[in-house]
A and B are shown apart, each in its own frame.
Chain A
Amino acid sequence: MKKNESYEEFVKGIWRDNPVFAQVLGMCPMLAVTNSAINAIAMGMASMFVLVGSSFLVSIFRNVIPKQVRISCFIIIIATFVTIADYTLLALVPKVHKELGAFIPLIVANCLILGRQEAFASRYPTRLAVMDALGMAGGFLLALFSLGAVREILGDGALFGVRIFSENFEPWIVMILPPGGFLTLGVILLFFNWFKYKKDEFLADVAEAERSGN
């Protein structure tokens, strides 16, 4: 039972309540850094570290933080973790850090992270909060990666820098430029809408069949 509960919190973030596709949160870093798969993954990992770290801390202190100043407390905790992530990336992978540039400090303003602290971590025990953070961050990473991969494949003809098309492939430069981000995410959301629409239609059909059966 206990195990199922944490598993449930983990899975919901990946698919059903996926922060990007289902809730449309955290758009800014989402679009800005996904012009290649490797940048997208670096951004996803950094966000994951910040989200899990701050959820853990917020959840531990949830009974100590006064209600009136909770948002400021959350933001300071998040900003601390982002600073750690920023300096760690600078030390380990300076090249990626340079490409992500100002968007690493901007993780602070990612509404997904603050939203999870307010909606979940400040109300639930530590174990559940960490599982929820892992799930949400996993879903965010998945979304970043799928967007980054599509844009890199179409815009550059490569994935992780490895060419996957023949020499004749003409790259769609626009995909790695800013408009490509908007268009790709628009089309992915369109696909999700279609998926949901089909599912609703299917459920309606089943209900209809049951009713006529009776």
Chain B
Amino acid sequence: MENLPWIFISALLVNNFVLTYFLGLCPFLGVSNSLETSARLGLATTFVMLVTAVCAWVLNTYVLIHAPYLRLICFIVVIASTVQFIEMLIKKLSPALFRAMGIFLPLITTNCAILGLAIFATNRGYGFVEGIVYALGAGIGFTLALVLLAGLREESELSNIPKLIQGTAMNLIIAGVLSMAFMGFAGLFSSS
């Protein structure tokens, strides 16, 4: 049994989902062109991660012990329907929030970070509370990486960059440097 702060920090910094596991790269490279949208997408993703962690725990505890080979199909169906359900719920409860999240909610279904979270949490045998803390750390870590890259990209738009390197190539190299910086956190825990 690992302690909760460790799980949180580990998911947030040391094993950051985007910069160490390469999960959720499509939104990371796709929508990180403005600070505001990336912060919103990050929050929406964190929210879906939390719900997914709970669902994954329920599935693992009550359903999948009888049929482990159905794990993947169950997870993907549950994530897709959860996102759909949350979308309807938010639309009903808070139209303002719904407008703010906009297109990002349905897009989250295809974010591999969500499925990755469910699978990693299962592989490590996290319980209910641990799963929630892990999801929170991973979600905030994802938001952090997204906001950092968006900030750097906004700055870079003001500078004179050779035409050849503009676009995905430059974003990937920036991400590489960010990832190197995050490697420094590996020293936080000797056991990681």
Contact = CB atoms under 8 A, between A and B. Distances in A.
A194 B164 contact: yes
Contacts of B102: none
A189 B180 CA distance: 20
A110 interface: yes
A75 B115 CA distance: 13
Interface string B98-114: 00000000000011101
Q: Which of A27, A76, A87, A109 has the most CB of B within 10 A?
A: A109
B156 interface: no
Interface string B121-140: 00100000000000000000
A106 B112 contact: yes
Interface stretch (B4-12, B54-62, B71-79, B85-93): B71-79
Nearest to A196: B164
Contacts of A24: 29, 168
A86 B123 CA distance: 14
Nearest to A82: B72
Interface in B5-45: 19-26, 29
Nearest to B25: A27
A72 B73 CA distance: 11
A35 to B, nearest CB: 11
Dominant secondary structure at the A interface:
helix
Contacts of A187: 169, 173
A185 interface: yes
A182 B172 contact: yes
Contact of B110 (A109, A178, A193): A109
Nearest to A21: B168
Contacts of B111: 109
Interface string A16-30: 000000001001101
B97 interface: no
B150 to A, nearest CB: 16
Contact of B116 (A80, A82, A102, A197): A102
Contacts of B165: 190, 193
A186 interface: yes
Contacts of A87: 69
Contacts of B77: 72, 75-76
B181 to A, nearest CB: 9
A186 B120 contact: no
Interface in B145-192: 163-165, 167-173, 175-177, 179-180, 183
Contact of A182 (B71, B116, B179): B179
A198 to B, nearest CB: 10
A60 interface: no
Given A83-B72, A87-B69, A102-B120, A32 B21 contact: yes
Contacts of A86: 72
Interface string A178-203: 11111101110110011001000000
Given A24-B29, A31-B25, A190 B164 contact: yes
A27 B20 CA distance: 13
A65 interface: no
Interface in A91-124: 101-102, 105-106, 108-111, 114
Given A109-B115, A174-B180, 15 more contacts: A24-B168, A28-B23, A28-B112, A30-B22, A72-B77, A79-B76, A82-B72, A102-B119, A102-B120, A108-B115, A179-B177, A183-B176, A186-B172, A187-B169, A193-B165
30 contacts: A24-B168, A27-B25, A28-B22, A28-B26, A32-B23, A72-B77, A72-B80, A79-B72, A79-B73, A102-B116, A102-B120, A102-B123, A105-B72, A105-B119, A106-B116, A109-B115, A109-B116, A177-B183, A178-B21, A181-B176, A182-B173, A182-B175, A182-B176, A182-B179, A183-B176, A187-B169, A189-B169, A189-B172, A190-B164, A190-B165
